[in-house]
Amino acid sequence: MRQFYYPRTEAEAADIVRSHIASKMPLRIAGGNTRALIGHPVAAEYGLRSTSLSGILAYNPAEMVMTARAGTPVREIEAALAERNQMLAFEPMDHRGVLGTSGEPTIGGLFAVNSSGPRRLTAGAARDHLLGIRFVNGRGEAIKAGGRVMKNVTGLDLVKLLAGSHGTLGFLTEVTFKVLPAQAETETVLVSGLGEAEAAIAMATAMALPVEVSAAAHLPFTVRHRFLGNRLPDGAATIFRLEGLKASVKARLQTLVSALAGFGPVSRIAAPESRMLWQEVRDCRAYADGTSRALWRISVAPSAGHRIVAALRLEAGVDACYDWQGGLVWMRMEADPEADMLRRLIKAAGGGHATLIRASEAVRASVPVFEPQAPAVAALSARVKAALDPDGIFNPGLMYQEKGER
């Protein structure tokens, strides 16, 4: 990288983008750079970073909405929310552990990768909480989309489109998002020793109960020791989280425990340890291992996750753990990423997608990091990209290779 720009205003950012359109020099878009290793390597000599666009602009707890500049550290946002007993309900993942990066994750970066944790299963993803954005498009124009109210169907929802677009469609300058009251009580129910198929059934059973389980994950015996400093009971751990007002959690706990008793030994983890455990699940503690061994993030129907892993195990050395009732699989490869085989298995199991979230630069340069799309969808996505970034100035090739590249 030859140079990083750190614009202090949206207008400055727009100027930089316009000058790069003129010179046809692409820009590497980033916030705190903690998730910069996700995606294909980007061939850009210049970087445009949001970290000098920082600060909370508006926060009214009674309205449950916050507006912040895109480069505001997530840590600062979470501290401000905690002070008023509120939270980001989608539990954004901190990728530093698995990617081995340092620096401060920013609120803009978090929405740019649509990063959601265990509560995504019941509370929605980052994109569901993003109400409005400001961004600079690939024409160098400052654009506003969405707003700051929870119900808004005025015009096309460009907010969702930009969320999860990994900086390939625009440079976020400001985000407005929904926040929710923090949970007064947290309890975890743990079932020990289940195989992956049994765990899938136990999780589906729990999620069908009217007890509002807010998260369900399965930590196989190969990774169990990495959580809570190896203090979880022996064997695989299938874990269920109950949250809410004290009286609610107490009432639901009994129903849940009795429904799970038939599956295996049931134990409980109380609030402080519970919170830590789910934070470790959120950040994929199992594979925050300091290596760059290929790590897949697979998103499929909850009942399909373990089947795909079982089928792949017959062909390759893999290790996996599960969140989102089994629908989010973190899978670490012993050797090759086996992208083609994995994607064939996903298709055969009813569809979904796999993202190679971590791999060496050489691997990320040759293996499709994001799920290849059907031709018609790929063509449509390319047209959408062109509608926002006609000259391909932002993060070229990070998600998909563009026409004429390489």
Partner 1 sequence: MGETIRFLTPKAPVLSRRDVIIADLRELVPAECLVHDERALVPFETDGFIAYRRRPLCVALPGTTAEVAALLKYCHRYQIPVVPRGAGTSLSGGAIPEEDAVVICLSRMNRILEVDAANRTATVQAGVTNLSISDRVGPEGFFYAPDPSSQLACTIGGNIGMNSGGAHCLKYGVTTNNLLGVKMVLADGEVIELGGKALDSGGYDLLGLVCGSEGQLGIVTEATVRILARPEGARPVLFGFETPEDAGACVSAIIASGIIPVAIEFMDREAIAICEAFAHAGYPLDVGALLIVEVEGSEAEMEAMLQSIIAIARGFGVKTVKESQSAMEAAAIWKGRKSAFGATGRIADYICMDGTVPLGQLSHVLKRTGEIVSGHGLRVANVFHAGDGNMHPLILYDINDPEEAKKAEAAGNDILKLCVEAGGCLTGEHGVGIEKRDLMRFQFAEADLQQQMAVRAAFDPGWLLNRSKVFPLEGRPE
Give the footprint of partner 1 on residues 240-259 (CB under 8 A): 245, 247-248, 250-252, 255
**Residues between 295 and 324 that touch partner 1 (CB under 8 A):** 299-304, 324
Of 8, 350, 361, 405, the residue at the interface with partner 1 (CB under 8 A) is 350
x/- map, 93-122, partner 1, by CB under 8 A: ---------------------x-x---xx-
**Residues between 42 and 81 that touch partner 1 (CB under 8 A):** 60-65
**Residues between 143 and 202 that touch partner 1 (CB under 8 A):** 143-145, 147-161, 163-165, 169, 180-182, 184, 200-201
Asked if 395 interacts with partner 1 (CB under 8 A), we say no
Stretch that binds partner 1, among 35-43, 44-52, 100-108, 135-143 (CB under 8 A): 135-143
Number of helical H runs and strand E runs in the chain:
15, 18
Contact present, 18 and 93 (Cβ < 8 Å) = no
**Residues between 352 and 371 that touch partner 1 (CB under 8 A):** 352-353, 355, 370-371
**46-49 and 27-30 as β-strands: parallel, antiparallel, unpaired?**
parallel
Of 110, 112, 277, 388, the residue at the interface with partner 1 (CB under 8 A) is 388
Q: How far apart are CA 317 and CA 70, in angstroms?
A: 40
Contact present, 236 and 195 (Cβ < 8 Å) = yes
Q: How far apart are CA 172 and CA 143, in angstroms?
A: 9
Number of residues that bind partner 1 (CB under 8 A): 90
Cβ atoms within 10 A of the Cβ of 57, count?
A: 12
Min. distance of Cβ 390 from partner 1 in angstroms? 9
**Vertex 395 angle, CA 362 and 14, to 5°:** 155
Asked if 208 interacts with partner 1 (CB under 8 A), we say yes
Asked if 210 interacts with partner 1 (CB under 8 A), we say yes
Min. distance of Cβ 307 from partner 1 in angstroms? 12
**Percent of the chain as helix, strand, coil, to the nearest 5:** 35, 25, 40
Closer residue to partner 1 (CB): 51 or 115: 115
Contact present, 17 and 393 (Cβ < 8 Å) = yes
Closer residue to partner 1 (CB): 110 or 145: 145
**Residues between 320 and 339 that touch partner 1 (CB under 8 A):** 324, 327-328
Of 74, 93, 125, 199, the residue at the interface with partner 1 (CB under 8 A) is 125
Tell me the CA distances in angstroms from 120 to 92, 129, 273, one per residue in order.
9, 11, 20
Tell me the CA distances in angstroms from 51 to 127, 171, 240, one per residue in order.
21, 12, 37
Q: How far apart are CA 151 and CA 52, in angstroms?
A: 31
Of 253, 316, 365, 386, the residue at the interface with partner 1 (CB under 8 A) is 386
